[in-house]
Amino acid sequence: MDIPQRKLAEMPEDRAKDFLGQPKFSGKGFTILPEPTEPLDIDSPIFDQMKDPYTVRNFLVPRRPLVFEEIDDKDAFTYGTSVNTLDMPIKLAGQKEVRVPLELEADREAIQKWVNFAASNLPDWVDRIFYITTDRRRIRRGSSQRRPGIHTDGFQGARYQKKNPPDIVALVHDHVPFVSYAQSFDFTGLNTGKHDFHAEMSRQADESNAVPSENYKMYVFDAFTGHRAGEAEEDIERNLVRFNASYATYDFIGNTHNPLLDYDWEMVDRTIPNNLIKESIVDSESKRRTQLEQIIAKNRYVPNIDRRLQLIDFIKK
Ligand SMILES: [Fe+2]
């Protein structure tokens, strides 16, 4: 496959640096409606377990991300200009159309393919909120673009008294594969209100189960799929687009507001579950601390200045 590459010298300035909150939207946008597609014909616990409420027991069943599509217009995906967003709603619960700010035009193909997939494979897609995260940035050799450490997206911890069906997540990137772990994770005896499950995942992860993703392929996985960001082998600009289909309100301070949708959520700061960290076993706390230090050092995944200050505060303690 002929993969478009861009030399570092030709790259625009790192747009991530400017992203400390809400990007500037024109207020214009486009609507995407699902086009009929064949449901994905693959046996997977991702499909078997998507209708039932979240339970950590599901981590016992190994799973891997499934390829459901591929980006055709690779030049547009890689060289296009789109603003960075974080967990921005593009469809609210009960709606059947997706509203996207014009500034995300370069990611239109990915968005259309995600919507097609969701509408024909998630029986409850109308009831779920769709979120998008778009992240174009320069990555230096040896570092990763996003969240370090093995984790899952959509972990339902102590905050969720009543568990929702698990989040469904889709990802596509042009360079620097992410790595998933096709294995079971056993959390028997651990308590979501007390223990750091992501640290525990790192402990249990076996590198022989690590599966790297392929560039430009569109992957779907669920909230029980352990994965981590990959490290760049060279300085490169990477485009990552992520979708979440969730019952949850992603009302974190720093998430992007979509001016095309009519909603007004009270945004709250839940960056660090302080009680969780204090009560964690020493080993997991030190791992988490290392992760947070890496995040601060690289200024990544902490788009809001207040959250960053809070993290710095925590590390100094
Ligand atoms: Fe993730």
pLDDT at 307: 53
Residue written as tokens 């997939």? 117
Distance (angstroms) between ligand 1 centre and the Cα of 154 equals 9
Cα(166)–Cα(153) distance, rounded to whole angstroms?
A: 10
Distance (angstroms) between ligand 1 centre and the Cα of 36 equals 28
Cα(261)–Cα(265) distance, rounded to whole angstroms?
A: 12
Torsion angle (degrees, nearest 10) of CA 68, 5, 208, 43: 0
Cα(242)–Cα(260) distance, rounded to whole angstroms?
A: 19
pLDDT at 311: 54
What is the DSSP-derived secondary structure letter of residue 171? E
Distance (angstroms) between ligand 1 centre and the Cα of 156 equals 14
Distance (angstroms) between ligand 1 centre and the Cα of 145 equals 11
Distance (angstroms) between ligand 1 centre and the Cα of 177 equals 12
Distance (angstroms) between ligand 1 centre and the Cα of 149 equals 9
Distance (angstroms) between ligand 1 centre and the Cα of 98 equals 23
| Residue 264 C-alpha from the chain's centroid | 22
pLDDT at 291: 56
Cα(194)–Cα(276) distance, rounded to whole angstroms?
A: 5
Distance (angstroms) between ligand 1 centre and the Cα of 152 equals 6
Distance (angstroms) between ligand 1 centre and the Cα of 147 equals 7
Cα(303)–Cα(84) distance, rounded to whole angstroms?
A: 10
The CATH H-level (homologous superfamily) assignment of domain 8-268 is: Jelly Rolls (2.60.120.10)
- Helices 197-204 and 282-298: angle between axes, nearest 10 degrees: 100
| Residue 18 C-alpha from the chain's centroid | 20
Distance (angstroms) between ligand 1 centre and the Cα of 172 equals 12
* Predicted confidence pLDDT, tens digits, the chain (317 residues): 444 444 333 333 333 333 445 788 999 999 999 998 999 999 999 999 999 999 999 999 999 999 999 999 999 999 998 889 999 999 999 999 999 999 999 999 999 999 999 999 999 999 999 999 999 988 889 888 766 689 999 988 887 889 999 999 999 999 999 999 999 999 988 887 778 888 899 999 999 999 999 999 999 999 999 999 999 999 999 999 999 999 999 988 888 999 999 999 988 876 545 444 433 344 455 555 565 555 555 544 444 444 555 555 554 44
Q: Name the residue among 261, 240, 295 with its Cα closest to residue 129.
A: 261
Cα(247)–Cα(124) distance, rounded to whole angstroms?
A: 10
What is the DSSP-derived secondary structure letter of residue 42? -
Cα(306)–Cα(92) distance, rounded to whole angstroms?
A: 27
pLDDT at 282: 41
pLDDT at 157: 83
In the β-sheet with 210-212, what is the strand arrangement from edge to edge? 210-212, 179-181, 227-228
pLDDT at 159: 79
Asked if residues 77 and 111 have their Cβ atoms less than 8 Å apart, the reply is no
Distance (angstroms) between ligand 1 centre and the Cα of 173 equals 13
φ, ψ for residue 182, nearest 5 deg: -85, 75
pTM equals: 0.81
Distance (angstroms) between ligand 1 centre and the Cα of 286 equals 21
pLDDT at 89: 98
Residue written as tokens 């992957």? 219
